[in-house]
């Protein structure tokens, strides 16, 4: 067991315990004698695991609904969400490298139990909401490609635990390689579909500039918050602060500063790639559905069936299904890792990965199976969007502690966030909280 020293970072209430994800902690060596480019390449990977959470099946549902109903208008929300994500994920890397703690451990070590336990419960709710989206998305992907009934597909998703166990046994770099390969498949699928859809590029460019209607129109705000919840996801903040520590970057201040630079580059590049995928989903929906008068497309299955006649090529819906299945498998891996980090970090409770996975997947399968059997495709679409709004409402409970910790000189030492970065992060935290309050007010007032 690697028990970390607590002589530095004396601003914490409690000592640091066992490292996050101890079986892969500092398992990826960084060559001290290699070139700067080689050392930077050694840090490439965690950012792409984080990026997966920004393009999961729940994101598809909100982006499809937003693109079909409002055309390109919500591209501005996707862009703004991505900027927020880049800032917040950079703070996750900073917290991990400066303090040796993931966000869950930091909350446990900074707050009394009456604060940290509710934060743990909220984090678990966020992971369950994420898992529900993945269960439904993967089941729909299996149905679209192989014709497997949704009800059976929901149950099959429980078997994905064996993929994760096998990859983790081979080493963390294999997990990253699996994720990046599937991301490449998704990118190719969408590149072909966008080419076939032939969108209005002038409208696409205008869509990246925000309008006041996004806030004043309750229906548009609901979808905007769904996109925000699907983009900046609570479990990703816990995940990134844990997996950054798989790199053996050293213990001196110069080594930590270099690690922070490379980790930030990794996550920023990966999230820019995620923005391309997210924007592609919305652009595809706007070009294929909104422009033809189909403004109510939100079900993934309906979108799949409409693509062939609208785009004029039989392969289009197949590409859509393959990309969706890849997204579901990718999100499964990252949600499992995030679940381990949250449970170990908050509660110091270690479970075998397959036990942890089956517990969270079992909790997710129950509502997903019920909605799938009782309401069919329409119900799954509504449940997908609802999970993303739930994630958005949970987000502040992860963001505020993160910003608070990284702005504290006592907790972060020399790697404390600069004033301009902390100011931007606090602004993002307040904006997220304000939008959620607006959503709740609109919901209560009908």
Q: What is the pLDDT of residues 12-53, one digit of tens each?
A: 887 777 777 787 888 888 887 778 888 899 999 999 999 887
Give the residue with greater pLDDT, 229 vs 94.
Answer: 94
- What is the reported pLDDT for 3? 41
Least confident of 83-97, 111-125, 272-286, 327-341: 327-341
Helix (H, G, I), strand (E, B) or coil at 154: helix
- Encode 413-443: b = buried (16+ Cβ within 10 Å), e = exposed: bebbbeeebbebbeebbeebbebbeebeeee
d(CA 273, CA 330): 15
Residue in the structure block whose two tokens are 């969400």: 81
* Position 6 pLDDT exceeds 50: no
- What is the reported pLDDT for 389? 72
Residues in a beta bridge with 422 = none
Task: Name residues whose C-beta falls within 8 Å of residue 364's C-beta, 6 or more positions apart in sequence.
Answer: 128, 131, 132, 134, 135
Q: Does domain 28-444 have CATH number 3.40.50.10490?
A: no
What average pLDDT score do residues 101-126 get? 93
* Position 9 pLDDT exceeds 60: no
- What is the reported pLDDT for 120? 93
- The structure's pTM equals 0.86
User: 313-368: per-residue pLDDT in tens?
Assistant: 667 788 888 888 888 878 777 887 888 889 889 988 777 766 766 676 666 667 76
- What is the reported pLDDT for 310? 67
What average pLDDT score do residues 214-226 get? 80
Least confident of 66-80, 149-163, 302-316: 302-316
Give the residue with greater pLDDT, 212 vs 262.
Answer: 262
- What is the reported pLDDT for 2? 41
376: left (phi over 0), alpha (psi -120 to 50) or beta: left
Give the residue with greater pLDDT, 195 vs 10.
Answer: 195
The closest of 240, 234, 213, 208 to 121, measured between CA atoms, is: 234
* Position 150 pLDDT exceeds 60: yes
* Position 233 pLDDT exceeds 90: no
**pLDDT band at 252; cut points 50, 70, 90:** very high
- What is the reported pLDDT for 444? 67
Least confident of 53-57, 216-220, 337-341, 428-432: 53-57
* Position 1 pLDDT exceeds 50: no
**pLDDT band at 412; cut points 50, 70, 90:** very high
**pLDDT band at 420; cut points 50, 70, 90:** very high
Give the residue with greater pLDDT, 120 vs 164.
Answer: 120
- What is the reported pLDDT for 377? 62
Both structure tokens of 230: 């699907």
- What is the reported pLDDT for 58? 66
Average pLDDT, the chain: 82
* Position 5 pLDDT exceeds 70: no
- What is the reported pLDDT for 443? 62
Residues in a beta bridge with 29 = 248
**pLDDT band at 281; cut points 50, 70, 90:** confident
The three-point CA angle 411-415-416 to 5° equals 55
């Amino acid at each position: 067991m690697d028990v970390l020293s607590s002589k530095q970072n004396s601003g914490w209430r409690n000592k640091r315990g066992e490292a996050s994800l101890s079986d892969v902690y500092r398992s990826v060596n960084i060559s001290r004698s290699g070139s700067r480019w080689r050392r930077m390449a050694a840090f490439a990977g965690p950012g792409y695991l984080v990026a997966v959470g920004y393009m999961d099946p729940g994101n598809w549902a909100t982006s499809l609904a937003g693109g079909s109903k409002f055309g390109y208008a919500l591209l501005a929300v996707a862009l703004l969400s991505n900027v927020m994500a880049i800032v917040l994920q950079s703070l996750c890397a900073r917290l991990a490298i400066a303090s040796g703690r993931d966000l869950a451990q930091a909350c446990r070590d900074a707050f009394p139990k009456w604060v940290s336990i509710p934060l743990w419960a909220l984090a678990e709710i966020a992971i369950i909401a994420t898992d529900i989206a993945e269960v439904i998305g993967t089941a729909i992907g299996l149905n679209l490609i192989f014709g497997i009934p949704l009800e059976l597909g929901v149950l099959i998703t429980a078997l994905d635990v064996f993929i994760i166990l096998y990859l983790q046994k081979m080493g963390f770099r294999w997990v990253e390689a699996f994720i990046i390969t599937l991301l490449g498949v998704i990118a190719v699928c969408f590149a072909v579909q966008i080419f076939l859809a032939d969108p209005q590029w002038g409208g696409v460019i205008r869509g990246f500039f925000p309008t006041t209607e996004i806030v004043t129109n309750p229906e548009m705000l609901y979808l905007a918050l769904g996109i925000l919840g699907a983009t900046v996801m609570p479990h990703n903040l816990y995940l990134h602060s844990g997996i950054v520590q798989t790199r053996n970057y050293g213990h001196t201040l110069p080594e930590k500063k270099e690690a922070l630079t490379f980790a930030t580059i990794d996550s920023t590049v990966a999230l820019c790639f995620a923005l391309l995928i997210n924007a592609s989903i919305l652009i595809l929906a706007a070009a294929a559905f909104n422009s033809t008068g189909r403004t109510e497309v939100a079900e993934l299955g309906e979108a799949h069936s409409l693509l062939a006649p609208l785009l004029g090529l039989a392969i289009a819906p197949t590409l859509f299904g393959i990309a969706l299945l890849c997204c579901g498998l990718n999100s499964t891996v990252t949600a499992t890792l995030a679940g381990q980090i949250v449970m170990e970090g908050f509660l110091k409770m270690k479970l075998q990965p397959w036990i942890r996975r089956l517990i969270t997947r079992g909790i997710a399968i129950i509502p997903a199976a019920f909605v799938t059997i009782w309401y069919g495709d329409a119900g799954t679409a509504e449940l997908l969007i609802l999970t993303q709004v739930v994630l958005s409402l949970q987000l502040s409970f992860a963001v505020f502690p993160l910003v608070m910790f990284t702005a504290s000189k006592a907790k972060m030492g020399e790697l404390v966030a600069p004033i301009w970065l902390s100011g931007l992060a606090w602004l993002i935290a307040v904006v997220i909280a304000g939008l959620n309050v607006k959503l709740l007010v609109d919901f209560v007032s009908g």
